[in-house]
Amino acid sequence: MGPYWVLLAVAIAATLTWPVAVLVFAPAPLFSQAAPAARLVVSVTVDKQTYLPREPVIITVQVTNAGNAMAEIQFGSTCLATYTILSMDGSVVYDYRAHATCGQMLTTVPLRPEEARAFAFTWGQTSDSGVPVLPFRSYHVQGAVLSAKPSPAPSAETRIFVMQGPSGPNLAFTARTDRTSYGPSDSAKVTVILTNIGLDTIVMHFGQPCFVQFLVLDEARHGAGCSPGA
């Protein structure tokens, strides 16, 4: 009776300690790459980095589809791109949208992968009020695509430097009216602004009480009237 118990115990131990291999089947992904998608990238370039005072600045705003799928840019007006000039402290010097005429129109611009669309502008180094900007300063040039979709519109920026011009007085004149349209008998209030955009102090001497004078021109640029200012 004793030997049988020994053999049975050995058989049970062999069964419990016999190595067992377990196979686990994990489903492999069908696609290892992400789905194709469009990716819009905007860049802003200028024709030079340094300019003389009042020298035209050629600005190019370019949007590129850097993705691997077709992109469709949707616009809500006839203005597809814009630029803004900022001083170094971040204040707006010139905003192109304040001077452009943009009509409402739904437009879709398709871009294939690696395809680009460029928009060119010319800034005359003037502020929004028409006065030449101060020289010997750096300015930020921001460019953006005025898209309704994607929103917010992608943008970028670069920097330029306006050199100092010739020494001596440098005056800028600009005139504005209180309204843009008048009736036949309405009076127009004209404001003439004189700005010293140079680096030196100017002392002006006048030989008569009238300091300034303005001239009114018709559509053919013929003189329609001349009036002195106080």
Question: Are both 179 and 153 inside the same structural domain?
Answer: no
Question: Are both 123 and 70 inside the same structural domain?
Answer: yes
Question: Are both 204 and 131 inside the same structural domain?
Answer: no
Split into its structural domains, the chain has a count of 2
Note the pTM of the prediction, 2 decimals: 0.61
pLDDT score, position 168: 59
| Alpha-carbon distance values, 33 to 9, 12, 28, 40, 70 (Å) | 57, 52, 13, 20, 17
pLDDT score, position 9: 41
CB 85 within 8 A of CB 93: yes
Q: Is residue 32 part of a domain?
A: no
CATH number at residue 86: 2.60.40.2360
- The residue segments making up the domain with residue 151 are 40-162
Token pair for 75: 């616009």
Question: Are both 120 and 67 inside the same structural domain?
Answer: yes
Q: Is residue 220 part of a domain?
A: yes
Cα dihedral 207, 208, 209, 214 in deg (nearest 10): -110
Distance CA 126, CA 136 (A): 14
Phi/psi at 169 (nearest 5 deg)?
A: -60, 145
- Each of the 230 residues of the chain gets a pLDDT tens digit; together they read 445 444 444 434 444 444 444 444 445 555 556 789 999 999 999 999 999 999 999 999 999 999 999 999 999 999 999 999 999 999 999 999 999 999 999 999 999 999 999 999 999 999 999 999 999 999 999 999 999 999 998 999 999 999 987 655 677 778 888 887 888 888 888 888 878 876 677 787 777 777 777 777 777 666 665 556 55
Which of the listed residues 115, 143, 162 is the one where a domain comes to its end? Answer: 162
Question: Are both 47 and 152 inside the same structural domain?
Answer: yes
Q: Is residue 12 part of a domain?
A: no
